[in-house]
Structure 1
Amino acid sequence: MVDVVLSLDQLHALAVNVLTSNGLGAPHAQAMAKMLVAGQRDDCQSHGVWRLIGCVKTLRSGKLNLDAKPSVQDISPALVKVDAQYGFSPLAFELGSQMLVEKAKRTGIAALAINNCFHFSALWPEIEVLTDQGISALAMVPSHSCVAPAGGTKPLFGTNPIAFGWPRPDGMPFVFDMATSRIARGDIELHQRSGSKIPNDWAIDEDGQPTDDPERALKGAMLTFGGYKGSALSAMVELLAGPLIGDMLSRKSLEFDDGAGVAPCHGELIIAFNPSLFGGTDFVENSHRAEALFAGIVDQGARLPSQRRFEARKRSVEHGVALPAKLHADLLNLIET
């Protein structure tokens, strides 16, 4: 089947239509569509508009607050909290991020904790909102239990992604967004959707054995990257974006789901740093040091994180986004009339 090419504006309008026609309030639909279109724009299929299928399942489950009004709380000079009121997370981030930036610029370091949110999107679009304002940032979230700890055989952790961004004086920021699992769960689900096998080091089956079958992988457990190192980082994410901010661990999020199979509900932590305040009078020199590091990576033929995403973004802006015809048809079928 021939791909369907849409401009970014057309893709955004389609995403908003899918979401609002299924009952999601307009402010939430705009914020969520922006996140999912960013994934598709940057050719990150696992975090693109394919996720609208899961979003709609969540909307129809009755668990999500369709018209949630996130509550922003100014806790201290360096801490802002947002209670998402059991709505999707992007709107809560939009409402809390500006206060986060203001606090970071004043104090040097500040944190945003989002509670009671259904999280269903990549972290790098949030990070880039902050780097665009000269702020360096670190973000993390748990999810549903689907990843075994190193040496274990049963799901305990979520995919537990970590994202980091560093603003640069010219061009795009230094940004990475990575799961602490071997791969994002969405990548396994995409293999399941296409009927293709997965590498046998991504996951184990229900008996704890390596598998290349995405069906068995989804019934078993995913693996952490780097063995014990990824497992330790995953546990760190559980603690910092769970008990530290008064929210659920991945296992509790899965219990809250209670078999509905919808987006995970939990918390999110974003820590923001003001390089100009940290660096003081040496800020310019420190910026040169950072650029020397990036040059040292590129000059030996290595690639900076997100470089392929930025290249895909340029193509998408110029030529639009090509959606597989089946996915486009599936999205149109989600629109309630």
Structure 2
Amino acid sequence: MSKDRPGEFELIKQFFAPLASDPGSLGLTDDAAVFVPEAGYDLVLTKDVLAADVHFFKDDAPEAIASKALRVNLSDLAAKGARPRGYLLGLALPSDWTEAWLERFCAGLAADQSAFDVRLLGGDTIRSGNGLQVSITAIGQVTAGRTVRRSGAKPGDVLFVTGTIGDAAAGLKIRLNKLFSTENKLTDAQERHLLDRYLIPRPRLALSDLLTEFASASMDISDGLFADSAHMAAASGVDLEIELARIPVSPALQQLQSTSGDAYKACLNGGDDYEILAAVPVAGAPAFQTRAAAAGCPVTAIGAVVDGRGTVNCREDGTISAWRDDGGFTHF
């Protein structure tokens, strides 16, 4: 290790202790945090591990890497109807890390802690033998007995998604192919939008309380719309029918659809959306949609839950066909 860089304990004190303002963190001066949930709430825990050149590019801005690592976990909490309380950070730094890089990384965490009212509780920092890796365990809370799972969808429910679908996957295509924007006649503004959606997820925490009130099932869309719909269908023992024309897409994706139908469809199931897929009983669907919009998190009805055994069916131009598992993100 360079003599110019702080050692492990000084690193914790200098960079991470300022982020640990929750009393339970004990100022990162002990081996473990003490966490006390509020009375009448269940804890919801989730973990995601992000690795350089798998989930982000190693030359991405440190602030963006930190933000993505935290936000993908907050997205999971939101889909369960939970509010974030704190998180644990595991950071494996490559041998060439610098104080300047770490300062920017922590600045990204600090900004999102303020934006989403969440605090660092503890963690660990090690030397990586294979590039930067960031592991976050997020802790949230939800009213006791009200956690929304992926397994509760019922025939007759309406399927909703938040935001727009496919932008992040298109942003990744731009990162991998410098000619992608030109070939598909994307404007500079459209390119910036897609790149931003790939770099910085938007956890839909504004929807958390409404999911516990209205949804019978919910999950975040990380592996791709159809792949994650299949997960919900299988867990719930139902079929899902999705109207392709009703899937909400951005103007940039509309442009992509006009130039390359194959690339457009691949992006719809490309992953990294971090939007929410929810099944809502039909009686509550209008109120759910109205109140979601009022909360600043508009939702779009894209289909329905029907009797079945775990299949996702796509409806296009009056024709229904079963979705084939030939896309979506997978690690292995």
* Greater fraction helix: 1
TM-score range, shorter chain: under 0.3
TM-score (norm: length of structure 2)? 0.24
TM-score (norm: length of structure 1)? 0.24
Instruction: Give the structure with higher Rg (CA).
Output: 2
* Greater fraction strand: 2
